[in-house]
Structure 1
Amino acid sequence: MSDQHQGLVAPAAAAGRGASEVNHVSQLSQDLAHLCRSEEFCDVVLSVEGHRFSAHRAVLAARSEYFRALLFGGMKESREKEVTLTGAAVGPFRVLLQYIYTGQMSLVGLKEDTVLDMLGLAHQYGFTQLEEAVSQYLEAAVRAGNVCVIYDMARLYRQSALLDVCQSFMDKNAACRAAAPQLLHNQGVREVISRDSFCAAEVDIFRAVSRWTAANPELDSAQLLAAVRLPLVSMQDLVNVVRPSGVISPDAILDAIKTKVESRDRDLPYRGCLLPDENVCTPRHGAQTVRGDMRSFLLNGDTSAFDMERGFTRHAIDDACSDNCIEVRLGMPCIINHIKMLLWDKDMRSYSYYVEVSMDECDWVRVVNHSRYHCRSWQTLYFPPRVVRSIRVVGTNNTVNKMFHLVSLEASYCSRPEPTENGLIVPRENVATLQRSAMVIEGVSRSRNALLNGDTDKYDWDHGYTCHQLGSGSVVVQLGQPVLLDSMRMLLWDCDDRTYGYYIEVSTNQRDWTIVCDRSRSHCRSWQVVTFKRRPVVFIRIVGTRNSANEVFHCVHFECPAQCEVERHTDDPPAPEPAEDEPEDEQEGAAGPQTPGAVGGERRFSFELELPVEEAAAAVFGDQCEP
Structure 2
Amino acid sequence: MHVTWGRNIGTTVQSEEDLYFSANSENWFDMSSLGAFDTYTSDNDWVSVEKMVPPVETDDMITTRDVSKLCEDISSLYLNEKFSDVILVLDGEKLHAHKAILARCEYLEALINDGSQHLQQSEIAITDVSPEAFKKLLKFIYTVSTITITSNVGLIVEVLELARQYCFKDLENATIQTLKSALNLKNICSTLNIANLYDLSDLKQACHTFVDQNALEIVTGDGFTDLSQKSVIQLLERDTLLVPEIEIFKSVSKCKLNDDDDNLVIGSVRLSWLTVEDIVSTVWPSKLVEDEKLLGAIVEIVEVKAKTSVCRAKKCMKNNHNWRKIDL
2:26 match: none
The separation in 1 between residues aligned to 2:133 and 2:151, in whole angstroms, is 9
The separation in 2 between residues aligned to 1:106 and 1:242, in whole angstroms, is 45
Secondary structure class of the residue paired with 2:225: coil
**Count of aligned residue pairs for this structure pair:** 266
For the aligned residue pairs, the C-alpha RMSD in angstroms reads 3.8
1:136 match: 177
Structure 1 pair 19/44, CA: closer, same or farther in 2 (3 Å)? closer
Contact 1:123 1:157 in 2 (8 A): no
2:101 match: 59
Contact 1:44 1:57 in 2 (8 A): no
Secondary structure class of the residue paired with 2:226: coil
Residue 244 of structure 1 deviates from its aligned partner by 0.9
- Show CA shifts across 1:360-401 (max 9, x none): xxxxxxxxxxxxxxxxxxxxxxxxxxx256xxxxxxxxxxxx
- Range with bigger deviation, 238-247 or 30-39: 30-39
Q: TM-score, normalised by structure 2?
A: 0.66
Residue 175 of structure 1 deviates from its aligned partner by 1.4
The separation in 2 between residues aligned to 1:41 and 1:234, in whole angstroms, is 71
Unpaired runs of at least 5, structure 2: 1-53
2:189 match: 148
2:33 match: none
Residue 25 in 1 paired to residue 64 in 2?
A: no
For residues 311-460 of structure 1, the aligned pairs below 5 Å read: 335-336=324-325, 387-388=326-327
Secondary structure class of the residue paired with 2:184: coil
- Show CA shifts across 1:214-243 (max 9, x none): xx5698422111111112111111111011
Identical counterparts, % of pairs: 27
Contact 1:171 1:274 in 2 (8 A): no
AA partner of residue 182 (structure 2): A
Residue 122 in 1 paired to residue 174 in 2?
A: no
1:158 match: 199
Residue 262 of structure 1 deviates from its aligned partner by 6.1
Structure 1 pair 171/236, CA: closer, same or farther in 2 (3 Å)? same
For residues 143-542 of structure 1, the aligned pairs below 5 Å read: 143-180=184-221, 181-213=224-256, 220-261=261-302, 271-273=312-314, 279=318, 335-336=324-325, 387-388=326-327
- Show CA shifts across 1:546-589 (max 9, x none): xxxxxxxxxxxxxxxxxxxxxxxxxxxxxxxxxxxxxxxxxxxx
The separation in 2 between residues aligned to 1:71 and 1:256, in whole angstroms, is 64
Unpaired runs of at least 5, structure 1: 1-11, 286-333, 337-386, 390-627
AA partner of residue 36 (structure 1): Y
More strand, by proportion: 1
Residue 179 of structure 1 deviates from its aligned partner by 0.7
1:43 match: 86
Residue 99 in 1 paired to residue 140 in 2?
A: yes
AA partner of residue 125 (structure 2): V
Residue 170 of structure 1 deviates from its aligned partner by 0.9
Contact 1:197 1:272 in 2 (8 A): yes
The separation in 1 between residues aligned to 2:320 and 2:193, in whole angstroms, is 34
Larger Rg: 1
Contact 2:84 2:96 in 1 (8 A): no
AA partner of residue 97 (structure 2): A
The separation in 1 between residues aligned to 2:276 and 2:195, in whole angstroms, is 38
- Show CA shifts across 1:2-57 (max 9, x none): xxxxxxxxxx9x959x995355334433443343323443335243x554434344
